[in-house]
Structure 1
Amino acid sequence: MVAHLDRVRVGSSAHRRRRRDRGPKPRRSGRSAPAIRSPQRSVRTLPWLARVARSSVMDGKRWARTRVVSDPLTDYERWELGTYIEGQTVSERIRIALRRDVEEVGPDFRLFDAGQADAVAVVMEYDAERRWLGAEKATAHDAVAELLALRDRVDAATVSLNEFLAGRRG
């Protein structure tokens, strides 16, 4: 189990694919966790994150994200899409697919250096209450290749974040 994703080395590329339509189930107070509010992790407010963004651009690293969403969007998805705008400003490639346009999309996962000999996949695990439990790291060629093929299949049904926000939803 990978406890912290920051322990995974990123050589030249990182890709994140998410499919969840909700955050964790509401707590007893009735509020969703995390509370839906403006993102706190920002290149404007966290110097270390700004350094990562600058060095990624300077080193030619590619960051990409594919998000599968409902139509209409859930409150959680609407909030989450709003947090992506800043990532896009620092060269993250963000693509959105409607759930109805893709078949079963498998687990949430991250791919690091896909297509390289030392590629790594990290598959996210959640409990029945949609709380993150951790992640399993996969380095076997077949496991990484299967997730890469899944990413490519889902990506074929996506539009850019800008197109999605402008109303072009497939």
Structure 2
Amino acid sequence: MLKEYEHSAFRLETRDSYASPTEETAFQQFLAGESVDMGWFQNWLASIRATTANGRAFHRVRVVSVPLSDYVRFSLGVARLANEAGEDIRYVARQDAVDLPEFDYWLFDSRTVGKMHFDDVDTFLGVELIEDPAVVVELNYQRDAAWHRAIPRDDFAAEHIDEH
């Protein structure tokens, strides 16, 4: 799904849940208060480590509703592992994101957009690649606005959940 890129990839995530069959078991373990098996996530973590070791960057901002949904609380734990692997994931409360896009997108090297499409039950349908300069410039601006408002994952988690 990730487009090849030279320097940086940024993703804006705007949904409070994602229907992903690969993480469903882990999410159910989380909800049951059980130990969460993160085996399903290891390939992504290895990809982040390899990519960032080669000097490329992953940045992500998640726009979330407060109080947090169960899925967002689960994803905060997943994000901790991704951050440790080299991805910089930050959060912004939805009330502080009123003029940001209401759709998910990837921005590759500030010149190509991958607009994400989902159905009404949060299932990923596909990505639309966009290279129209006007759209790309606007979403670069939105990336910067989102990044400016977002706070690091650990700070956000400390404010909104007890991880101990």
Q: State the TM-score, normalizing by the size of structure 1.
A: 0.77
2:73 to 73, 78, 84: 78
**Runs of at least 5 residues in structure 1 that lack an aligned partner in the other structure:** 25-32
Equivalent pairs, count: 148
- 1:1-170 to structure 2, matched below 5 A, reads 5-6=1-2, 8-24=3-19, 34-35=24-25, 36=27, 37=29, 38=36, 39-43=38-42, 46=43, 50=46, 52-106=47-101, 107-114=103-110, 119-167=111-159
Q: Identity, % of aligned pairs?
A: 29
Go from structure 1 to structure 2 and tell me whether the alpha carbon gap of 1:13 and 1:71 turns closer, same or farther (over 3 Å shift): same
Contact 1:57 1:91 in 2 (8 A): yes
Contact 1:19 1:105 in 2 (8 A): no
Q: Give the distance between the partners of 2:160 and 2:125, measured in 1 at CA.
A: 34
SS at match of 1:72: coil
User: How much does 1:82 deviate?
Assistant: 1.1
Q: State the TM-score, normalizing by the size of structure 2.
A: 0.80
Q: Give the distance between the partners of 1:17 and 1:148, measured in 2 at CA.
A: 11
Q: Give the distance between the partners of 1:90 and 1:102, measured in 2 at CA.
A: 27
Contact 1:120 1:137 in 2 (8 A): yes
User: How much does 1:151 deviate?
Assistant: 1.5
Partner of 2:32: none
Contact 2:105 2:113 in 1 (8 A): yes
User: How much does 1:22 deviate?
Assistant: 2.2
Residue identity in the other structure for 1:152? D
Contact 1:96 1:160 in 2 (8 A): yes
Residue identity in the other structure for 1:95? R
Task: Please give the per-residue CA displacement for 1:32-91, whole angstroms capped at 9, x wherever unaligned.
Answer: x83414443344xx4x852x3343233211111100111110001111111111111122
SS at match of 2:58: strand
CA RMSD, 1 decimal: 2.2
Greater fraction helix: 2
Contact 2:45 2:85 in 1 (8 A): no
